[in-house]
Amino acid sequence: MPQHTPVRRRDWERIGAVAGVVGVVIALVAILVSHSDASSGDTTGTQQPAVQGQNPVQDEDTSPGTERTTSGQDLLDALDLPRAYVGTWRGMVKQGDQKYLAVLRLTAGSAGESVGGSEYPTLECTGELQLISGGDDVVVKEDVDSTGCVDVEIRLALRDDGTLDYRVEGNGFLVEACHGVLAREREK
């Protein structure tokens, strides 16, 4: 990405690792608390009654009014890159007054694992993508292996039209916010 100053890679790796661990711990605590409330019969929390036929994860008792509990599979799904994201995505990214081509090659994986690579041909930057969170909130840490760019966290979201929303939040210091919409490349 343009307009970047050199940053000690080790510092960014530590920050990314800590952020990933904190996110996983928060998710685990939230699931344990909601499961604890369901086990104790507490219906005053955030749990909603299940509607038969509309809830893919239900208790063994599927009669109307049965409360939904979070299963271990829900937690695992939140840690994986959804299958719909796997593939090669290409599109223009706008950062300030500048636009440049971004190419993401995403592969299956879980939080903490490599899930592909990134390429910015006009900037002559490439990087490896490590999944920080999956499920409904996909965040990847980009570890660039080229000079002129810095490591960033990229938020990805599938759009209703089948394209991929690409967003990097600016930090007011080293990283200027950028946004783009990427289209899936067709397999040859």
Token output for 86: 């796997």
Full-model pTM: 0.61
**Out of 2.60.120, 2.20.25, 2.40.128, 1.20.120, which CATH number does the structure's domain 1-188 have?**
2.40.128
C-alpha torsion sign, points 7, 106, 97, 146:
positive
The H or E element containing residue 73 is helix 72-78
Total residues belonging to the chain: 188
What residue has token string 């690579």?
117
Whole-angstrom Cα distance, residue 179 to residue 106?
A: 18
pLDDT in tens, the chain (188 residues): 454 434 444 444 555 555 665 565 565 555 555 554 444 444 444 443 333 343 344 334 445 554 545 555 555 566 899 999 999 999 999 998 999 999 999 999 999 999 999 999 999 999 999 999 998 889 999 999 888 788 999 999 999 999 999 999 988 777 889 999 999 998 76
H or E stretch covering 94: strand 87-95
